[in-house]
Structure 1
Amino acid sequence: MRLFPVRTLSVSLLALAAVPAAAQDAPAGLPPTPPPGTIAADTYTIGVGAVTLPSYEGSDNNNILPAPGALISHDGYFLTVLGTRASLDLIRNEAGPVWDIQAGPIAVLNLDRTRRSTIDDARVEALGDRNAAIELGGFVGIGKTGVLTSDYDQFNVTLSYRYDVANAHESGIWQPSVSYFTPLSTKSAIGLFATAEHVGDRYARYYFSVPVAGAVASGLPTFNADGGWKNFQLGAIGTYALTGDLLHGWKIVAGGTYSRLQNDFKDSPVVSIAGDRDQWLGTVGIAYTF
């Protein structure tokens, strides 16, 4: 079972994850901004929610699945676990309106089309299931606190690369991302993001090609997909503290993304005939920060 989409909303949640760090310096009752060089305060957030997402990448039908997650800031280091995606920023975060260099490992368990029972199209189901891909790699980025609205909003630019080491699609994925987020008060925050993915030929063939045998089994025409820019994504997410504030207590989180497939990925019969190039995803959940 897919616990969380590896290709969409996780990026916006990663952006929002830094909001508590920014909020620790926010106005309206919180302490003054610490001087540069001060290590960001420790915060620990765990949560669970429900996500609606396409039954496979390119599908025009959505499934509803659980979406667990954890965001841990400890001694200036930041660990993010969002369903089947995890990353660790190994460069210490500082508090206050400063520049933030980011770098570390990233791991993704890609379970797309690994169970035919989750695919809501008989033709795509007839193409057979896929093996789980374990995508390992790293990311680099730079962020700035204190950009537009105050000393407390943040803007980030990151680039990640991961490669499947489980002999599934056996391909690499480049993912540039930009994100902006800001606390609106001690109780609420919002985040916006944009990202895209560039994948290799073997990824394209594994998920989007239709070989002769697959065409016979499914009734879809044959198709040979080449790699390249697979999609772009836009999203927004917000959080509101039900008890306490952004740094302590219960909060509700909700958001969504829009993704549009490009090039051979939109032209594949898996998408153009059986699915839809426009992909929508939404989530709502509850989390606790201490």
Structure 2
Amino acid sequence: MLRIAALASLLMTAPVLAQEEEGGPGNFVAIGVAALPESPGGDSYRFIPFAAGRATLGGVVYQIEGPGISASFYNEGKVEAGAYFRVYGGRDDHTGDVVVDLLPEVDGGIVAGGFVRIEVAQGVLSQYDRVFISGRVGADVTGEFGGAFWSGSVAYATPLSRTTLLIANLSVSGSPDDYADRLFSVDAAGSLASGLPVYQAQSGVQDIGVTFLLDQQISEDWSVTGIFGANRLQGDYADTPIVTVRGDDMQYFAGLGIGRRF
């Protein structure tokens, strides 16, 4: 779910940047399909639909970001800041791996928090490119996972032509002990059921990744966007037998969407 939220957020970035350059309102809706791991740390993939959207109402910028929504209460100059809600998926008994399916199921949670995005540079490598930094931090309001969820990123956006935009995004994310323990640990009962060795995971940096987006405008209002990303799990998240024995510390995702500006 975190990957889908990032994908949806990037899907909106290209047409919104284009409308900002033109002085438009930056409203946008999109739908698409994405491929991503069945479960955190897994090496089986699934296809799912997703949606994204952005609209300004009463001076507040609202965004639908896959399994979440955000509201920018401050949007002046080069700084955008606000609040967000986001679903963090758990693990069911259909992970695509018959061994991991034997581990206890984990309910998902809803994380609420704040974010900020700042344009820090323009004209770095070309006349029209832009560089952004952003960060988010939040906590689970459903009580499933205690502690802080956080992420940070640096994005470089540059036009390849009047109708084509490329964005490269470098990101890092982290999650709390409860999330690491319930999704990546193997307790004695889980070890007995699955045959995996007992393992205790603790919080820290969860993954570091890079995402590339290519947006192609096909008319004044419509565009097609392709996205590819790769994230490497870190620390205890990578060393768990759920990953080393049954999964993969490299997590890939890709998506294709079509959107309309208005």
CA pair 61-110 structure 1, distance change in 2 beyond 3 A: same
Choose which of 238, 244, 247 in structure 2 pairs with 1:266: 238
In structure 2, the residue matched to 1:240 is 216
- Look up the SS of the partner of 2:75 in the other structure: coil
Residue number among 283, 287, 290 corresponding to 2:255 in the alignment: 283
- Give the strand-richer structure, 1 or 2: 2
- 1:89 partnered with 2:72: yes
1:276: how far off?
A: 0.5
Which shifted more, 131-140 or 75-84?
A: 75-84
Closer/same/farther in 2, CA of residues 189 and 13 from structure 1, 3 Å limit: farther
**Alpha-carbon distance in structure 2 between the residues aligned to 1:243 and 1:112:** 40
Distance 1:22 1:47 in 2: 15
What one-letter code is carried by the residue in structure 1 that aligns with 2:98?
A
Q: Where in structure 2 are the equivalents of 1:113-132 lying within 5 Å?
A: 113=91, 115-117=92-94, 119-132=95-108
Identity %: 26
Secondary structure of the 1:282 match is strand
- TM-superposed CA distance for 1:171, in Å, is 2.8
Amino acid at match of 2:256: V
- The answer to which of 148-157 and 160-169 deviates more is 148-157
Q: Is the 8 A contact 2:227 2:254 kept in 1?
A: yes
Aligned partner letter, 1:271: V
Equivalent residue for 2:32, pick from 49, 55, 58: 49
CA distance in 1, matches of 2:188, 2:111: 28
Structure 1 unaligned blocks of 5 or more: 32-39, 95-99
Work out whether 1:107 is the aligned partner of 2:89. no
Taking only aligned residues, the RMSD between alpha carbons, in angstroms, comes to 2.1
Aligned residue identity for 1:281: F
Distance 1:260 1:252 in 2: 27
Contact 1:181–1:192, Cα closer than 8 Å, also in 2: yes
Cα distance in 1 for partners of 2:30, 2:85 equals 20
| Counterpart AA for 1:52 | A
Question: Which consecutive segments of 4 or more residues in structure 1 shift more than 6 A?
Answer: none
Indicate the residue corresponding to 1:14 in structure 2: 9
Residue 37 of structure 1: aligned partner:
none
CA distance in 2, matches of 1:178, 1:242: 27
The two structures have a TM-score, normalised by structure 2, of: 0.91
Aligned counterparts of 2:68 and 2:186: Cα–Cα separation in 1: 28
What is the Cα deviation at residue 52 of structure 1?
Answer: 0.5
Of residues 196, 210, 217, the one that matches 2:172 is: 196
Answer whether contact 2:159 2:166 (CA < 8 A) is retained.
yes
CA-to-aligned-CA distance 1:227-249 (integer Å, 9 cap, x gap): 111110111011112222xxx2x
- C-alpha separation between the residues in 2 aligned to 1:198 and 1:109? 15
AA aligned opposite 2:215: T
Q: Aligned-pair distance for 1:128?
A: 2.4
1:23 maps to 2:18? yes
Displacement after TM superposition at 1:42 (Å): 0.9
How far off is 1:204 after superposition? 0.9
Partner Cα distance (1:166, 1:143) in 2: 33
User: The residue matched to 2:181 in structure 1 has which SS?
Assistant: helix
User: How far apart are residue 215 of structure 1 and its match?
Assistant: 0.8
**Retained in 1: the 8 A contact 2:19–2:26?**
no
Aligned with 2:74: secondary structure? coil
Instruction: Tell me the CA shift for residue 147 of structure 1.
Output: 2.9
